[in-house]
Structure 1
């Protein structure tokens, strides 16, 4: 008896060539709906699923393969005598190949303003059931859910239209990954529909975007996975215009730079090194903003990443071309800028990212040994605390100081805790991050800024436990401070600020970044 293949696909890429090879191998084709029509139009022989089940498709095609004649033919264990006698007695013929891909649920919910009923209608029931039945019985059934596997299956067919067990096993594993990811997307969609923030079960799914040469260090293996519902304003969706392949550390640093640059509506430039900003500038133009970012720390920017929120023109490209950078991120580049940056810079990565008003509530996932921490991304900024700001010192900040404090508070949340950021003249001039005590972070920032501390302002991601940070700032020439407040010793810091005529503002919100 000829072997049979059940073929039912939404994505018809490469389908006809593959089916022709199955037919040429003596395999009988069974199909449904639009897939059957496509096979018939190609002039290939095909049976209707109703010819197998002796039952019509019903409920607008919702029920067609959910039938014992299908699943009995898939699940019967071929070397189990009782199984084979049972299906023979019922007139059920075995099915040896299943070629199925699923209703386009991901593509449907990716559409703007997709209707709820459209999403529900694109939940496949019969497809996953066939795939899972075939994958469970993979010793006897070859199951193909990905058009990318058509060629390897066709090339592996032997004279008896059989496929090696090792390949069947790999294809079955892919099926279970495929259906798990499909179900995870559906679960996530419904969870969001009902507003469940932290469900009792959390199943995440990502798609491999890129295999990496290594991870954080050369002895660590790594790959880059992206959310299947892509946001165009992310590094995962960035278009690489030039340069060598991104590394693990490149991707993390680029993501950090993008997170900072998105804070600004006015022209801005950000330089990042090892996940921390080493220079941030704002200005009337992106060229001016870059100049300020560069001047803030012309040493640390070397070998770093620069993100800009306006198009890179030829004039700016000339400046960027003059130093060694790993990556440049921008919403667009002029043709002249690309030509300049590509010249003698074969490794410089140019990333184009679509900048949008990013109001999505992203979750942040952090793995720990044996588990996962989940939290909302810290999207709160100056606008969220502005109405509740408290000037706690005798002197109020000047208008210019308030603008600098706003800038300083915007950027300090992107520095690793304990975090101190200094701002002067539209640029970050000093940063102390990742220290085990706050005064130590302040000393690093002040030393880094040098003479640029004169007339600068200071921001802190959390409250001062003692007044020593204020005293260090005052001695260096800091004129205003912004911090959350909330320490039981706040008054000591306020008194120290008053002693040196520093204006100090409490925000009531901290920005720890561990």
Structure 2
């Protein structure tokens, strides 16, 4: 058997994703590195819309997409390029004889089957979300990881971009990606099997489903629960790739509250494609920010701006970053008492600085980190199950501006940031932002006007000239008036109140722009 190559340069990539987050940025990085992009359907349309050169799969196969898109990539011209082991000369010769070019990268997120089931969709709609071509691509690439890197999560994009600068992916990196890919396929197939196995006897209530499966959780006792008199444990799903599977690199034993806060912090930063940091206290962000353009150390800059939102509350907080923690960020964190820091990775020098702090808990997210596709919450006598909250109205071109002069690009960018950041704040939620950073947050109040007062008070003088986001509509004009009196320059909110006209009139009278998204994001 021939020896496997270690580093494989990426020259040709196949992209077919249902989750479009970060797609354009990844596609641009690949194209800038001279990688040929081959893509399908809506993925190709998104890349072309961003001005990137794309070869349609149909051009490669000579066969059009057919059967409402059920058949696109199932073709020898695709799978031979994925499965050829170029460590074997005879495989390379056969590809050359067939006129087929190999792939060194596959990027594929599967159809949202689990999300469709959780939404209560009809059987026909659920069945259409059973991906066939996607798993075939992923399995082929993962099997041939000696030659092909396979990406199944947005969280893995940064690693691919880094590999472009390093001259290609290493065998160890491709093996890790393959393991995550097969794990994703296993989860996906189990979800499909459970859906088909649900009872279907005559007379069964339509909305009742039985979920079956062999779940062998690993149970780890914790010191105590939310309070010292409560017992607690962590149940880890062996097939999971979330916070529960994070590797603790340093620090004291994680507590129940540490896990709750760390999960909230990760949830907050993963809404952003840009380098982002969230500081969380009692499951609520007390600061969240993205890096400013052209920052020399983006993740360190994002942390500094997140901490500046409310440095008093940040003391004893939990920090999450969506990029590798750099030495610059670590040196800043080391000056602040921090319970937990969680990130996809840590520079060796950063880890050394943080590890000098005896009690800080350092968590590295697992490869292929994925947010849950289903959420559970216990109530007395049962369990509530829902599809996780995801943005479906994040494109500002779909928003409706109802007051004020058209907003400039900088203001619109701040409104988009505030809208994203507000989703991770407990309701009723009001978030004030300026230049990609939160400057005041009002959370968890029993009425929206109190949340407005809290956000404005915490922002202080920074409220003037900021933008404001509200996770749900203003039931009266009084909450919006608090923001207007503080000098906000623009507001984004869902709209939909029976008193929208009253709120719109108050904002219009102040000469402030207000945009309606049409989508609420309660977080209880």
Q: Which residue of 2 aligns with 1:222?
A: 232
Q: How well do the aligned residues superpose, as a CA RMSD in angstroms?
A: 2.6
2:213 equivalent to 1:210: no
Q: Distance in 2 between matches of 1:387 and 1:506?
A: 11
Asked if the contact 1:206–1:225 (Cα under 8 Å) also holds between the matched residues in 2, the reply is no
Q: Which residue of 2 aligns with 1:200?
A: 209
Residue 338 of structure 1 and its aligned partner are, at CA, apart by 1.3
Residue 382 of structure 1 and its aligned partner are, at CA, apart by 5.1
Q: 2:344 aligns with which of 322, 331, 349?
A: 331
1:138-166, CA deviations, whole angstroms, 9 ceiling, x for partnerless residues? xxxxxxxxxxxxxxxxxxxxxxxxxxxxx
Q: Distance in 1 between matches of 2:245 and 2:369?
A: 16
Asked if the contact 1:304–1:327 (Cα under 8 Å) also holds between the matched residues in 2, the reply is yes
Q: Distance in 2 between matches of 1:342 and 1:111?
A: 43
Residue 378 of structure 1 and its aligned partner are, at CA, apart by 0.4
* Alignment length (residue pairs): 332
Distance 1:209 1:193, change over 3 A: same
Q: 2:246 aligns with which of 235, 238, 244?
A: 238
SS at match of 2:480: helix
Q: Which residue of 2 aligns with 1:267?
A: 275
Q: Which residue of 2 aligns with 1:282?
A: 290
Asked if the contact 1:191–1:199 (Cα under 8 Å) also holds between the matched residues in 2, the reply is no
Q: Which residue of 2 aligns with 1:485?
A: 495
SS at match of 1:299: helix
Distance 1:501 1:432, change over 3 A: same
Q: Which residue of 2 aligns with 1:349?
A: 361
Q: Which residue of 1 aligns with 2:105?
A: none
Q: 1:496 aligns with which of 506, 513, 518?
A: 506
Q: Distance in 1 between matches of 2:275 and 2:367?
A: 13
2:426 equivalent to 1:426: no
Asked if the contact 1:382–1:406 (Cα under 8 Å) also holds between the matched residues in 2, the reply is no
Q: 1:321 aligns with which of 334, 350, 356?
A: 334
1:116-131 alignment to 2 at 5 Å? none
Asked if the contact 2:261–2:280 (Cα under 8 Å) also holds between the matched residues in 1, the reply is yes
Distance 1:363 1:463, change over 3 A: same
Q: 1:363 aligns with which of 364, 368, 374?
A: 374
Q: Distance in 1 between matches of 2:220 and 2:442?
A: 34
Structure 2 length-normalised TM: 0.60
1:320-469 alignment to 2 at 5 Å? 320-343=333-356, 345-354=357-366, 356=368, 358=370, 362-380=373-391, 383=394, 385-469=395-479
Structure 1 length-normalised TM: 0.61
Question: Which structure has the larger Rg?
Answer: 1
Q: Which residue of 1 aligns with 2:178?
A: none
Q: Distance in 2 between matches of 1:187 and 1:357?
A: 18
SS at match of 2:349: helix
SS at match of 2:508: helix
Q: Distance in 2 between matches of 1:306 and 1:394?
A: 37
Asked if the contact 1:479–1:502 (Cα under 8 Å) also holds between the matched residues in 2, the reply is yes
Asked if the contact 2:373–2:387 (Cα under 8 Å) also holds between the matched residues in 1, the reply is yes
Distance 1:357 1:442, change over 3 A: same
Q: Distance in 2 between matches of 1:313 and 1:508?
A: 38
2:310 equivalent to 1:297: yes
1:68-108, CA deviations, whole angstroms, 9 ceiling, x for partnerless residues? xxxxxxxxxxxxxxxxxxxxxxxxxxxxxxxxxxxxxxxxx
Distance 1:213 1:445, change over 3 A: same
2:329 equivalent to 1:309: no
Residue 348 of structure 1 and its aligned partner are, at CA, apart by 0.6
SS at match of 2:311: coil
Ranges in structure 1 where 5+ consecutive residues have no aligned partner: 1-109, 116-183
Residue 367 of structure 1 and its aligned partner are, at CA, apart by 0.3
Q: Which residue of 1 aligns with 2:113?
A: none
1:134-213 alignment to 2 at 5 Å? 188-192=191-195, 200-203=209-212, 205=215, 207-213=217-223
Asked if the contact 1:208–1:223 (Cα under 8 Å) also holds between the matched residues in 2, the reply is no
Q: Distance in 2 between matches of 1:357 and 1:481?
A: 33
